[in-house]
Structure 1
Amino acid sequence: MSGITDVPGVLVGHHQRLGDGWATGTTVVLVPDGATGAVDQRGGAPGTRETNLLEPENLVQRVNAVCLSGGSAYGLAAADGVVRWLAERNLGFPVGSQPHQVVPIVPGAVLFDLPRSTWGNRPDADFGYAACEAASATFASGTVGAGSGAVVGSLKGGIGSASEVVGDVTVGALAAVNASGEAVDFATGRPFAADHEVDGEFGVRWPGRPGEAPSARTDLNTTIGVVACDAALSKAEARRLAVAGQDGLARAVRPAHTMFDGDTVFALATGAHELPATAGTFADGQRAAALDALCSAAARVFARAMVHGLLSATAAGGVVAYRDVWPEAF
C-alpha cells in the first residue's frame, strides 16, 4: 500500500502472531540513513522508550528506527531486537573509532492489547528483529504488526498509512489504531475522519444505516504512530509535525487522549529538501509558513491513516471489525 514509505528512505516491516492464543505483533519504521527524530505524547497511560532523548536540547539528533509494538510495557522488549539488527549492520550513533562501535537509536512506544492473547503471549526482541528483516517499501495494513491485537472503541483496529505531497516535500503517516474512543458514528457507519478522504482512497460507500456497537470493549488502549517527511528539519521543528499528527488522531476518534490512552506520535525528517530560510518578521517568515504547511499535511495524513487502519482491519482476538458490522460498505 502507499503511505509513509512514499517518503524516500523510509521502510516498514511487520511481525505478528495470530491464532493459538496469540493476537499481537510489532511494526518497525526503519530509516537506514538516519532521520531527525521527535515525539509528542498525550493521554494518561503511556508506554515509551527513548523519548527523552528526542527532546530538542539533548545530544543525539538522528534516529535509526522507531519501534511500535503490542504487549503493553512487556512489548518494549521488541526494540531490543531492532537494536540488535541495526548493530549487526553498523548503523547507529558513533561512539568509537571502529565502524561497529555504534549505539543504534531506537525510540519506541507500545499499545495495550493483552486481552487479545493468552496471558504471557506478547512480543519480545525476536519480534523486533523479524520486523526489521521484513522491512521494505511495500507493506500490509490492517491486522498486522502492532495492529494485530488493536481495538478502536468497540471495533477491531489495525495498521493504517497515508501520504501527501506539499510542494517538493512528501509527508506520510503510519498509525497503529488502538483508541479508547470510537472512530465511527454508529448512527450512520461513517468514520469521523472520513472528510479527509482523497480521490475515493478508502474504496467504500458509507452505509448510512445504524450499526449496533458491539458490547465487548476495553478502556485500556493507546494509539501510536509515526509522521515522516523528507524535509530538512531541526528536532524542534520535527516535534511540530508530531504535535500536528496528534491533531489528526483527535479528528479520527472521540474522545481522544483520555486517561486510558497513552497516545504517542513520533516524527522523522530525512532531510532531502531544505525549507526556505526565514527572513524579516515572524509574520512574513517563509520558513515558518513552509513548516506550517507541512504540519497541516501531517494532521490530514494521520487522520487518513487512522481510517485506513479501521477499514482494513479484520476480526481477531474476539473483536469484530468494521467490515463485519457494515459489510455492504465494501
Structure 2
Amino acid sequence: MGDDGLDRYGGELTAVRVSDHDRVTDVAGVTVGQHHRIDDDATVADAEIAGSGWATGSTVICFPDGATGAVDVRGGGPGTRETDLLDPANSVLGPTAIVLTGGSAYGLAVADGVMTELERDHRGLAMDAHGHVVPIVPAAVVFDLTVGGWSSRPDADFGVKAVRAAGVEVATGSVGAGAGARAGALKGGIGTAGVTFDDGPAAGITVAALMVANPVGSVIDPGTGLPWDVADHGYHRLTTPAAAEIDAYAALQAKGTVLNTTIGVVATDATAGPGMMRRVAIAAQDGIARAIRPAHLPLDGDTVFAVATNRVPRPTYHPVPPGLDPELAVITAVSAAVASVVQRAIVGAVLAATPVAGIPTFAQTLPSARRRA
C-alpha cells in the first residue's frame, strides 16, 4: 500500500491512501472551529478536594454548503441534543453544524451560541421568503466536570467563538472539546484522520473522522504499553516501551475514572442520504471498540455523527441491482474504511495530548515508546 503505513487496509480494501492532510477537513464542505479555556493552575477533583480553574472547551464541525446525516448512540449515559432530528425516518436531511463539547449536560448550552452565530450568517434551514432560517445543530457532550472547577464549563459564548474560528486547520490533542478529556488514566483529547479511495465504487471519495477521546476504558494496552492492536492497524508505529514504564502505566490505569464518553463526527464527500449515513455511523462505532477497551459501557455516552457533504456524484459505472439503495456500493466501501479511520483518530488524540491539570499524558507515562520510521 505504499509508504503511508496503512497495512491493515490492504486486507480490507483496495487502493486507499491517507487523505491529503489526514484530517476531517480533507472532506470537501467541512470546516472545524474550536475554543477552549485552560488555566495553568487547573486541578482535578478527587473524593476529598474539589477541582479548580478552567480546563474545558468546545469543537464545532460546520457544513457551509449543507449536508445529509445521521447519528448512532451506543453508550448508556449520553448527553445529546437534536439526535432525534437525525433519525432517517424524520424530515430534516442533515445538520448545519455539529457541536462536540465538554461540560457534560451543561455544555449543551454551547449549541445556543452556535445557532445564534449561524443565524447571523443566514445559514440554516430556510423557513420563509424573508430570509429567516433555523440552523440545525445537533450536539453531544463529554463529562469533564471534575477537571477544573465544577462550574467552569462551556457556554453559548464558546459556541460563538468556535464558529468564528472555523476553517480547514484542525488542532489536535488537548484542545477544543478535548481540553479536559481523559482516556482512562491518561490525558485524552481531539484526534482526526482521513483516507481517500483511488479506485473501486468509491474512487475519488474521502472519508474522515474527528473524535473526542474521553473514555472510561483504555486506549493503551496495559500489557504492552502500546495502543490496542497497534501491529494490526499499522499506522501508529511505536517502539515497545520499557518494562518499568509498562508496569507503572498498568498501576496508573487501575485508578482511572468511571464518568467518561467518546464522541465524534465521521464525514465523507460521497453522495448519500440519511439512511445510508446511519449505516456509516453504526460502522464507525466499531472504530471505538477497536481503539478502546472496554467500550460502550453504561456510564459511557459513546455517540458518533455521520455526515455526507454530497460533493462527489454517485458513480454510474458500478450499478446496484434494482430494489437496492443506489448508494449501496459506495457506502459499503465507506463503511469498510470508517472504523479504521475512527480508531486512528482516537489513538492519535491520546498520542497528541499535552499536560492539563496534572493528568499524565502518554508521552510522560511511556516516554520510551517512540514513533518508528
Do both share a fold (TM > 0.5)? yes
Alignment-derived partner of residue 217 in structure 1: 256
Alignment-derived partner of residue 29 in structure 2: 9
Alignment-derived partner of residue 160 in structure 1: 191
Which one-letter code corresponds to 1:295 in the other structure? S
Mapping 1:1-330, distance limit 5 Å: 2-19=22-39, 20=41, 21-99=53-131, 101-166=132-197, 167-194=203-230, 195-198=232-235, 202=236, 204-207=238-241, 209=243, 210-213=246-249, 214=252, 216-276=255-315, 278-280=319-321, 287-330=327-370
For residues 91 and 292 of structure 1, the distance between their equivalents in structure 2, rounded to whole angstroms, comes to: 31
Residues 4 and 121 of structure 1: CA distance in aligned 2, closer, same or farther (over 3 Å):
same
1:318, distance to aligned residue in structure 2 (A): 2.8
For residues 134 and 334 of structure 2, the distance between their equivalents in structure 1, rounded to whole angstroms, comes to: 30
**Preserved contact between residue 147 and residue 159 of structure 1 (Cα < 8 Å):** yes
Could you tell me the percent identity over the aligned residues?
A: 48
Q: TM-score, normalised by structure 2?
A: 0.83
Point out where structure 2 has 5 or more consecutive residues left out of the alignment: 1-20, 42-52, 198-202
1:276, distance to aligned residue in structure 2 (A): 4.0
For residues 85 and 296 of structure 1, the distance between their equivalents in structure 2, rounded to whole angstroms, comes to: 36
Q: How many residues align?
A: 325
Structure with more strand by fraction = 1
For residues 289 and 352 of structure 2, the distance between their equivalents in structure 1, rounded to whole angstroms, comes to: 20
> What are the superposed Cα offsets for residues 260-280 of structure 1, whole Å, 9 maximum, x if unpaired?
101000011000123346533
Residues 205 and 282 of structure 1: CA distance in aligned 2, closer, same or farther (over 3 Å):
farther
Name the Cα RMSD after superposition. Answer: 1.8
- Say which one has the larger Rg: 2
**Preserved contact between residue 189 and residue 214 of structure 2 (Cα < 8 Å):** yes
**Preserved contact between residue 207 and residue 328 of structure 1 (Cα < 8 Å):** yes
Residues 279 and 88 of structure 1: CA distance in aligned 2, closer, same or farther (over 3 Å):
same
**Preserved contact between residue 29 and residue 311 of structure 2 (Cα < 8 Å):** no
Q: TM-score, normalised by structure 1?
A: 0.94
> What are the superposed Cα offsets for residues 112-154 of structure 1, whole Å, 9 maximum, x if unpaired?
0000011200000011111111111012100000001111111
**Preserved contact between residue 282 and residue 288 of structure 1 (Cα < 8 Å):** no
